[in-house]
Amino acid sequence: MNELPGRVLVTGAAGAIGRSLRGTLLRKVAHVRLSDIRAVGETAGHEEYVPAELTDLDQVRAAVHGMDAVIHLGGVADEADFASIKGPNLEGVYNVFEACRLEGVSRVVNTSSNRITGFYPAGRTLDGQEAVRPDGLYGAAKAFGEALASLYADRFGLDVVSVRVGSFEERPSESRHLHTWLSPSDAARLYEACLKAPAGLGHVTIYGVSRNTRSWWSQNAAASALGYAPRDDAEKFADRLPPYTEVHQGGQYTHYEYGGWAARPDTGRTP
């Protein structure tokens, strides 16, 4: 098995996954560069903080400079209007890949989302090879990021793992999580496997999910090749949660008004 890269940049380091990985996986990395437009708190001896606005290529390039790998977590983390999404989640992901190309950084862990396939029926098992069916602008932006990952792998030789993160929570708190939960411990195992993956893998897509009995997402060949072996199961929380009754995997995220930008139009017509 390959060793961890010696120098790793984490964008969006002030977010939930970034904070969690700092206490687990990233303690094993010799030098960690934390980047965000928000404060990341006190840094440890092996950490440094380099703020960067994702919409500014020069700032992103400065953050990427000298790194061996990038964990890209940055961006708007939920559904929002297009004006909010387009900078951090569209231009931002382009700037990360372009900065990696310019700075010669060939390993990227691209944090995508399960929301990229939210309109698939609940109960259907997906392995990441299906066509995207995003449940909103956030998911559509993640699809753009995966398309860029494929382009930069094929044209420029980057090795990219796009991780379609499920419901990253300390423990499941709603019925959907029985199917989608990613525990902090499994997140650490997953991102470690992505960083250790052998060179030459190109672009692969996997679901970031724990070993849930009711999971909608299987571990595909790419996940097996990475050596990701989740251990936690949301089923131990099942007696505390009601059954899932939504039609689609995205649940509330597929609802017409979710995110506030798509209010139903007033056509002036009577029913």
Q: What is the DSSP string of 25-93?
A: GGGGSSEEEEE-SS---S--TTEEE----TT-HHHHHHHHTT-SEEEE--S--S---HHHHIIIIIIHH
Residue 84 binned pLDDT confidence (cut-offs 50, 70, 90): very high
Catalytic entry in 94, 120, 138, 152: 138
CA gap 49, 41 in Å, rounded: 9
Question: Is the predicted pLDDT of residue 71 greater than 90, yes or no?
Answer: yes
Question: Domains plus CATH for the chain?
Answer: 7-254 (3.40.50.720)
pLDDT in tens, 17-49: 999 999 999 999 999 999 999 999 999 999 999
CA gap 141, 86 in Å, rounded: 8
Q: What is the value of pTM for the model shown?
A: 0.96
Write the CB contacts of 269 (distance below 8 Å, at least 6 apart in sequence): none
Question: Is the predicted pLDDT of residue 165 greater than 90, yes or no?
Answer: yes
Q: Are 161 and 206 in contact (CB under 8 A)?
A: yes
Catalytic residue flag (residue 253): no
Q: Are 186 and 230 in contact (CB under 8 A)?
A: yes
SS3 163: strand
Whole-number pLDDT of residue 268: 59
Question: Is the predicted pLDDT of residue 252 greater than 80, yes or no?
Answer: yes
**Using CB atoms within 10 A of its CB, is residue 177 exposed (0-12), middle (13-18) or buried (19+)?**
buried
pLDDT in tens, 86-124: 999 999 999 999 999 999 999 999 999 999 999 999 989
Mean pLDDT of the 165-191 span: 98
Whole-number pLDDT of residue 182: 98
